[in-house]
Amino acid sequence: MSHEHSSDGNLKTYLRFAIMIAVSMVVMYISMYLNTYAVEHIHWSETRFYMTLIMGCTMTVVMLLFMLGMYRNKTLNIGILAGATIVFLLAVWLVRSQALVDDEAYMRGMIPHHSIAILTSERAGIEDVRVRELADGIIDAQVREIAEMEWLINDIEENGVATDQAEAEARAVPDFSLESN
């Protein structure tokens, strides 16, 4: 029996497959931040993590099915396909429900999203004056909202969540609109 078809070689092949998927998922997650406007806008995002799981599970199924000739352990293949399907469905539910995303996680995920709007609004080859005015307004709004979210993250970390209107008014968000001009 050749090393390639031995159980040890087979497990090594599956281990290499798992490492390839895991490394690809890390690269995909990091790549999702390449279109942020500024490096300080990069924050951990549960939603992007869930999307990475969705892409990784999809890649697992597609690659395994294309390479079944290399992966001949039917029981393990069924387990991998079933596991990838379960994780895929769970990740889709987490993305759609946002069930585990709290106040801070929401803002940490939205900051890079707003940053993308700044980058595209600033750098797009816009010629129509009206569209340029719209893009400039988007830039101003996104810069202001990022400043507000950063302030809120710091305030919540220092003082906790404002659970009623009186507490929210006592810790009102400063007006950042002048800083964006």
Residue 14: both structure tokens together: 């599956």
Separation between Cα atoms, residue 115 and residue 117, nearest integer Å: 5
What is the per-residue pLDDT across 73-92, written as a single tens digit (0 to 9) for each?
Answer: 999 999 999 999 999 999 99
The contacts of residue 55 (CB under 8 Å, 6+ apart) are: 25, 28
Q: Where are the alpha helices (DSSP H) in 46-171?
A: 46-66, 74-97, 103-123, 129-159, 165-170
Residue with tokens 């830039």: 139
For the stretch 105-149, pLDDT in tens is 999 999 999 999 999 999 999 999 999 999 999 999 999 999 999
Residue 10 — pLDDT band, cuts 50, 70, 90? confident
Does pLDDT of 42 surpass 80? yes
pLDDT exceeds 70 at position 161:
yes
Cα–Cα distances in angstroms (integers) from residue 57 to residues 11, 61, 101, 150, 159, in the given order: 20, 6, 21, 33, 39
Residue 78: other Cβ atoms inside 10 A:
10
User: Residue 181's pLDDT is what?
Assistant: 46
| Other Cβ atoms closer than 10 A to 163 | 8
